[in-house]
Amino acid sequence: MRSKSEIISLLTNPGIIAVVRAQMAEQVLPLAEALIAGGVIAIEVTMTTPKALEAIREASKKLGARGLVGVGTVLDAATCRAAIAAGAEFVVSPILRPEIAAAARALDKPVMLGAYTPTEAQLAHEAGADFIKIFPSDGLGPNYIRALLAPLPHLKIIPTGIATPELVPQFIRAGCVGVGLGSLLMPTAALQQNDRAEVTRRAEEFVSAVNGARQQ
């Protein structure tokens, strides 16, 4: 079993969390395999996925040490605990709810709470969040992250809802410790056509983009 510090290290290296919002639970494992093949090992299975807990249980067992399976769209502490019991190694919420952070920390798992404003981001940190999910980041942009981190440099920020590929390295250069990517990694067409090769290709490109941005 991985320690919390090991999980945090894997979440920030390479620093891409794949937000898997699948239409069917059966899609999760093939998508995870395709993402891992491209170097994206952190797989966030959202609770909006049908039979999400079953998908998490299967993926965590079959991927083993090759992948890091977590849960997303967590809205309460009970769901947090159930997902961890199913095998989730990290917890992500789009909202600021301290009880979720408390539940995850009690089970020694990293947790990410959602925020939009500087006050929300700081409150999420004070509630015990290991990471701050800036969501949706589409209308804010990398300059907002720079402005946020100037007075609050202790925050570990991971934006999600990024609109275009070219913004991904810009968010990293702005000071984000990682990014959460959904449709940019797994476009609708690739899901509908079961095009795992395209998912792997996109994963490789984004890993390269993030690594490159960190070296600049």
Classify burial at 90, counting beta carbons within 10 Å of its beta carbon; exposed 0-12, middle 13-18, buried 19 or more: buried
CA 34 from centroid of its chain's CA atoms: 16
Residues marked as catalytic: 44, 133
Determine the Cα–Cα distance for residues 86 and 193; give it in Å rounded to an integer: 29
Determine the Cα–Cα distance for residues 67 and 20; give it in Å rounded to an integer: 13
From residue 173, alpha-carbon distances to 53, 101, 143, 163, 167 in Å are: 35, 27, 10, 17, 10
Q: Are 129 and 110 in contact (CB under 8 A)?
A: no
From residue 170, alpha-carbon distances to 32, 173, 177 in Å are: 25, 5, 12
